[in-house]
Amino acid sequence: MSISLLLEMAASSNPDRTAVVSGEIRLTTSELSELADGGAGVIAASGAQHAAYVGTGGAMLPLLLFSSARAGVAFTPLNYRLSEDGLRQLIDRLPTPLVIADDEYRDVVAGAGKQVISSDEFIDAARSTEPAAEFADPDDVGVVLFTSGTTSKPKAVELTHNNLTSYITGTVEFDSAEPSDAALICVPPYHIAGVSAALSNLYAGRKMVYLRHFDANEWVRLVRDEGVTSATVVPTMLDRIVSVLETEPVALPTLRNLAYGGSKVALPLVRKALGLLPDVGFVNAYGLTETSSTIAVLTPDDHREALAAGDEAVARRLGSVGQPVPSIEVQIRGEDGSVLGPGETGELFVRGEQVSGRYTDIGSVLDADGWFPTKDVAMLDEGGYLFIGGRSDDTIIRGGENIAPAEIEDVLVEHPSVRDCAVVGPEDPEWGQIIVAVVVPAPGVTPDPDELREHVRAQLRGSRTPDRVVFRDELPTNATGKVLRRELVDEFQRSRT
């Protein structure tokens, strides 16, 4: 099945419903479909084998997703924040691409030696070009996304039409939204959440309201002005929205559903957000690029039950990512490959039609039975709730003992003097690695490092106590809130020499 069919179905059921609102642009489902037909014509006429996009998204994202699908070529939204050199290196890895760029990025990609067209020119051309209407094979690659490359060279994840449509049809009921429903989309277009937002909201029949440059005040304004009923944010965005609501409390009466994900959200922030928006259903979504977005969901009911629970095991689930979606199987495996039981911590493996696990030039990393190693440290509790303990690459080995930084971070961030923190393991001649806690203090506080170390020692084994506590005004993160641990390690090592 081609992702193109998702748009075809939406356009045939609700042709006149508003599908996209982005700045001045408003498109109904049928207008989006017609424009995508013409856009497919533009891509096909260019002779390109791939479509790449450099820009801030908005209406361009659904338009290019479906134009590419109908032209029978794969689509890659690129990180517009990358340097000229960084972008060129990624573009060079795509086969004969047509590069579509927002005006402000046109100069940045001009020297890449590829066909370039501006977003405005693309839309104009789409209105006047003879439509193309390929129908992709399910196993054709529909979208290629580059991983953020925070630890190594970015990998090109290949998502087939079957991966993407399986995710949508497996997790979203067609046309299930109310006619007045609206989703506010502010996640980056080059992130899997940006791709899945365009597909799932369209399929559900929900108007998509785009916020291309995140700003918490603007986010609040759009929720109110556009009657937004659901939204998805990454941790840094949630933090800023909470700050705005704390300073100037406003009612968001239409908002029913607020999903957060992209990287781990600290529990104190979740509790604060729940307190400020008591009528909103919170959703914690966990997924990876390689799994075509969400594979586990902590639902609004799960949040409420955990908050109200007297039972410690249920209360702890506020820090889980909930239960796997129905179309996904999960296993926790030990270092020897054996499948572990409830309560045991190991590496998360997942399987399902939405799971790609395939990279350009590397091939598939699925095992013989179709399981994908997520490289995330994880545990399932007795009720089947999934707890994620960070990336296995981030594991600190101190004196032969494996330590997951997340375990220490979860404890530290609960200290009233701590606003944010990250635990890293720089190399050490004596221990192999040592535990360094990088702490962002709460406003107006100067925490005592020994008190913070004692706070951790009191709750975890002694070997988990940070060897050093250092302070920083903020943590370096990428656009989806992922902490750039490598930078923190380098910084610490420089300060020691």
**Residue 370 interacts with other proteins (CB under 8 A): yes or no:** no
Span of 7-15, 235-243, 362-370, 384-392 interacting with other proteins by CB under 8 A: 7-15
Name the minimum Å distance from CB 7 to other proteins. 11
Name the minimum Å distance from CB 171 to other proteins. 5
Which residue type does 32 have? Answer: L
Cβ proximity of 236 and 477 under 8 Å:
yes
Sheet with 207-210, edge to edge strand ranges: 25-28, 18-22, 207-210, 182-185, 230-233, 257-260, 281-288, 293-298, 323-324
Two tokens, residue 118:
């501006």
Torsion on CA atoms 10, 130, 27, 24, rounded to nearest 10? 160
Q: Which residue has the tokens 């013409």?
A: 38
Span of 69-77, 80-88, 101-109, 174-182 interacting with other proteins by CB under 8 A: 174-182
**Residue 206 interacts with other proteins (CB under 8 A): yes or no:** yes
DSSP state of 350: E
Q: Which residue in 121, 124, 134, 175 binds other proteins (CB under 8 A)?
A: 175
Which residue type does 292 have? Answer: S
Span of 147-155, 199-207, 328-336, 437-445 interacting with other proteins by CB under 8 A: 199-207
**Residue 193 interacts with other proteins (CB under 8 A): yes or no:** yes
**Residue 1 interacts with other proteins (CB under 8 A): yes or no:** yes
**Residue 291 interacts with other proteins (CB under 8 A): yes or no:** no
**Residue 137 interacts with other proteins (CB under 8 A): yes or no:** yes
Q: Specify the residue, 22 or 294, whose C-beta has the smaller distance to other proteins.
A: 294
Please say whether the dihedral angle defined by the alpha carbons of residues 392, 394, 400 and 403, taken in this order, is positive or negative. Answer: negative
Of residues 454, 459, 25, the one with CA closest to residue 212: 25
Q: Which residue in 33, 129, 162, 289 binds other proteins (CB under 8 A)?
A: 162
Of residues 51, 49, 28, 26, the one with CA closest to residue 39: 51
Cβ proximity of 161 and 3 under 8 Å:
yes
Binding pattern for the stretch 417-436 against other proteins, x by CB under 8 A and - elsewhere: --------------------
Q: Specify the residue, 197 or 438, whose C-beta has the smaller distance to other proteins.
A: 197
Two tokens, residue 139:
């196993």
Q: Which residue has the tokens 């220490």?
A: 408
**Residue 254 interacts with other proteins (CB under 8 A): yes or no:** no
Looking at the DSSP bridge assignments, the partners of residue 397 are 402
Of residues 394, 398, 379, the one with CA closest to residue 332: 379
**Residue 232 interacts with other proteins (CB under 8 A): yes or no:** yes
Name the minimum Å distance from CB 300 to other proteins. 6
Q: Specify the residue, 132 or 280, whose C-beta has the smaller distance to other proteins.
A: 280
**Residue 197 interacts with other proteins (CB under 8 A): yes or no:** yes
Interface with other proteins: number of residues (CB under 8 A): 44
Alpha carbons 216 and 241: distance in angstroms, whole number:
5
Name the minimum Å distance from CB 3 to other proteins. 12
Q: If residue 117 lies in a helix (H) or strand (E), which one and from where to where? A: strand 115-118
Q: If residue 84 lies in a helix (H) or strand (E), which one and from where to where? A: helix 84-92
Size of the chain in residues? 497
Alpha carbons 155 and 147: distance in angstroms, whole number:
5
**Residue 289 interacts with other proteins (CB under 8 A): yes or no:** no
**Residue 228 interacts with other proteins (CB under 8 A): yes or no:** no
Contacting residues toward other proteins, per CB under 8 A = 1-2, 5, 8-9, 12-13, 135, 137-138, 161-162, 166, 169, 171-176, 183, 193, 196-197, 199-201, 204, 206, 230, 232, 257, 259, 261, 281, 283, 285, 293-294, 297, 299-300, 325-326
